[in-house]
Amino acid sequence: MLDKYNLHYYYKIVKKEGEYTYSKPQIQYPLVHLKYMITPVKKKRKINLMSTPSLKLADLRFDNSFVTQLPADPIKENYCRQVSGACYSLTNSTPCSKPALLIHSDEVGKLLELSPSVFRTEEFAQIFSGNETLPGMQPHATCYGGHQFGNWAGQLGDGRAITLGETVTSQKNRYSLQLKGSGMTPYSRTADGRAVLRSSVREFLCSEAMHHLGVPTTRALSLVLTGDEVMRDMFYDGNAMYEPGAVVCRVAPSFTRFGHFQLLAAQEEHALLKKFLDYTITTDFPDLELSHPKKAGLTAEDYGLWFKEVCDRTATMISEWMRVGFVHGVMNTDNMSILGLTIDYGPYGWLENYDPNWTPNTTDAGGKRYRYGQQSQVALWNLVQLANALYPLINDLKPLEDGLASYQKTYERQWHSALAGKLGLKSFVSSTDVSLTDDLFQLLSEVETDMTIFFRKLSEFNSTSDWLTTSALHCPLGSAFYVESQIDDSYNQKLSSWLTRYKTRLESDGLAPLVRKEIMNKANPKYVIRNYLAQLAIDDAAAGNFSTIQKLLDVLKNPYNEQPEQEEYAARRPEWARHRAGCSMLSCSS
């Protein structure tokens, strides 16, 4: 039960930093060992883009309910400080010298109902660099706290993010427009609130790539060069240097994080915690089935239902990360969205050679807290911290226990469904498929195996060919292996044995090979935003060639499709990129 997470007692000593520390499960690949099942997350409302208006920037309608319904920091000056009794601080971006639009997303523009012509205007670059605002915008930075690498960090907040406002479309869809890298806020601490080109390119590309992979994510509208240089120490080694500055406009229905609730609970501002939670449920979860929909005011039961919904959405998001081989790198509680969206693309990465213990974050290199194979457990730990924050409003462990149990059930159900798709099975049968998948992942980890390529090539498996008798290097799987010398007779025998079991399992399903291949190619992307590809685009952009970013974006819009003319983007990581800066591990400054 929930007592093993120290929920009730942890809340009582929340200010005693480090009292409860993170305990890592003693399993290498925990995902298929959970024993639960659940219902899927509700589908989002569809938008008929064909009938939507085509707006000029001045036509955008701003609602700004976050600002109008929640209390503001009374201090207007923009300097770093501790904030209490407020959910946000009004603040403006720091002007930049020469904003210029580098790239934008037509699709996100359509979500906002913007005319394509607006991206060609000087006005767009001025607004989405932070130099100007539109009528109705109310720029602000929000206040939140969080656990960073398992330790309570106190107040954090939007240190380099400024929300311009919340726009509501003709379809009644709400979107927050947030600039990342547009200058200092009261929550910047010792930083300047700026962002550099390399991190901005990575955020823009990955936001859109994840969307097209089918992973819940915030989106990116635009990437604007500021014309200014920003000092950064990429490796925290004392060798700081100037880099080009840039601003990303990211878009989401809400940017509310677990840490928003954590900070209010830690400060024992329970009345404001309730106000914030009531606002969140009413505004961001309009389809949530409440316990007493006709009764004025939300109840503790409603809060429990909301928490379960957050748990289920989080489980779905994590299972999708695992399916495509994505590693977030900084799963602090302040980087967890209550909507179950991937947020804050910093030192992320894709598994290239499959290693469940790999983390892309240099800061995490020692403890590997946020390694690939641990992401589902970290998400659960983070949800426990959110439950801690909600406890004063619910005053009952059971709804919180139910939510956490639902997370584990949802995660297993979604992950098993993903595994079935990756292997081309009708459904996941635990009695046979747990050991089948466990043994496959063990095989992938024994030699350097490109996860993306391996699963994509596995769709070509044909039991009537020589797959079972030839060397792994001489069948289609051969292109997935990085080091040929690792593929010895012992490995060939083990792989052949597994493929024989796989053949038997496929025969029990009876799917036609082409049907199976179609299922697998919808679950296993051919194109992902490998770190070295992003770095090549960054290198070209720094040299003034921005076409590589657009070309990479175009490829990533169709990650599951064969694109014969773009095969270079599906190749495994080249040897020169194994240890090059930006191509393997990255720092939080990246």
Question: pLDDT tens for residues 313-331?
Answer: 999 999 999 999 999 999 9
Band (pLDDT 50/70/90 cuts) for residue 41 is: very low
Tens digit of each residue's pLDDT (9 = 90 or more) over 432-481? 999 999 999 999 999 999 999 999 999 999 877 788 888 999 999 999 99
Q: What is the DSSP letter of 482?
A: S
The 10s digit of each residue's pLDDT in 104-154 is: 999 999 999 999 999 999 999 999 999 999 999 999 999 999 999 999 999
Q: What percent of the chain has pLDDT over 70?
A: 89
pLDDT in tens, 496-506: 999 999 999 99
pLDDT band at 589; cut points 50, 70, 90? low
Per the CB < 8 A criterion, the answer to whether 492 and 471 are in contact is yes
Give the mean pLDDT of the chain: 90
Residue 92: pLDDT band (50, 70, 90) is very high
| Ranges of H-type helices in 32-191 | 65-69, 106-111, 122-127
Determine the Cα–Cα distance for residues 256 and 251; give it in Å rounded to an integer: 12
Res. 403 pLDDT band, cuts 50 70 90: very high
pLDDT, position 236: 65
**Main-chain phi, psi angles of 322, to 5 degrees:** -65, -35
Take residue 42 and report the two structure tokens written for it.
């509700």
Under the banding of pLDDT at 50, 70 and 90, the label for residue 550 is very high
Say which residue the tokens 């990533």 belong to.
556
- What is the rounded distance in angstroms from the CA atom of residue 140 to the CA atom of residue 29? 41
Q: What local confidence, expressed as pLDDT, does residue 10 receive?
A: 33
Nearest alpha carbon to residue 443 among 396, 480, 406, 404? 480
Amino acid at 116: P
Q: Cα separation of 354 and 350, whole Å? A: 9
pLDDT at 27 over 70: no
Instruction: Please report the pLDDT score of residue 297 as a whole number.
Output: 85
Determine the pLDDT at residue 291.
78
Mean per-residue pLDDT for 276-295?
88
Tokens of 68: 């109008």
pLDDT of 271 strictly over 90: yes
Winning range, highest mean pLDDT, from 13-17, 47-51, 70-74, 233-237: 70-74
How many residues does this entry show for the chain? 590
HSE, side-chain direction, 13 A CA sphere, residue 113: 20
Lowest mean pLDDT: which of 210-224, 462-476, 531-545, 557-571?
Answer: 462-476
Could you tell me the two tokens for 326?
A: 């994505």
| 188-206: average pLDDT | 94
Residue spans of the domains in the chain: they are: 60-258, 429-510, 531-577
Whether residue 202 is predicted with pLDDT greater than 90 in this model: the reply is yes
C-alpha separations of 185 from 80, 330, 461 in Å? 7, 22, 55
User: Per-residue confidence at 581, pLDDT binned at 50, 70, 90?
Assistant: confident
Q: Helices in 63-164 by DSSP H: which ranges?
A: 65-69, 106-111, 122-127
Q: Which string of b and e fits 321-351 if b means at least 16 CB within 10 Å? A: bbbbbbbbbbbbbbbbbbbbbbbbbbbbbbb
Q: Which of 14-18, 218-222, 309-313, 363-367 has the lowest mean pLDDT?
A: 14-18
Q: How far apart are CA 395 and CA 387, in angstroms?
A: 11
Say which range, 33-42, 294-303, 510-519, has the weakest mean pLDDT.
Answer: 33-42
Burial of residue 540, with CB atoms counted within 10 A of its CB: 0-12 exposed, 13-18 middle, 19 or more buried: middle
The token pair that represents 430 in the structure block: 């635990």
Crossing angle (nearest 10°) for helices 397-423 and 430-446: 70
**Strand, coil or helix: 230:** strand
Q: How far apart are CA 138 and CA 142, in angstroms?
A: 12
Q: Which of 158, 284, 312, 334 is catalytic?
A: 334
Q: How much is the pTM?
A: 0.91
Least confident among 32-46, 155-169, 425-439? 32-46
pLDDT-derived band at 190 (thresholds 50, 70, 90) equals confident
- pLDDT score at 3: 40
Our CA dihedral for 460, 462, 467, 468, rounded to 10 degrees, sits at 140
Residue 583: the pLDDT is 83
Confidence of residue 293 (pLDDT cuts 50, 70, 90): low
Torsion over CA: 532, 538, 544, 546 (sign) = positive
b/e 491-504 (16+ beta carbons within 10 angstroms → b): bbeebeeebeebee
pLDDT of residue 58: 96
Residues 6 or more apart from 546 whose CB is under 8 A from it? 102, 103, 540
CB contact at 8 A, 162 and 184: no
Compute φ and ψ for 312, nearest 5 degrees.
-65, -40
Retrieve residue 446's tokens. 């024994």
- Among the listed residues 443, 444, 441, 448, the one whose alpha carbon sits nearest the alpha carbon of residue 575: 448
pLDDT at residue 115, rounded to an integer: 97
Active site residue 396: no
Q: What is the model's pLDDT at position 294?
A: 58
Beta bridge partners of 111: none
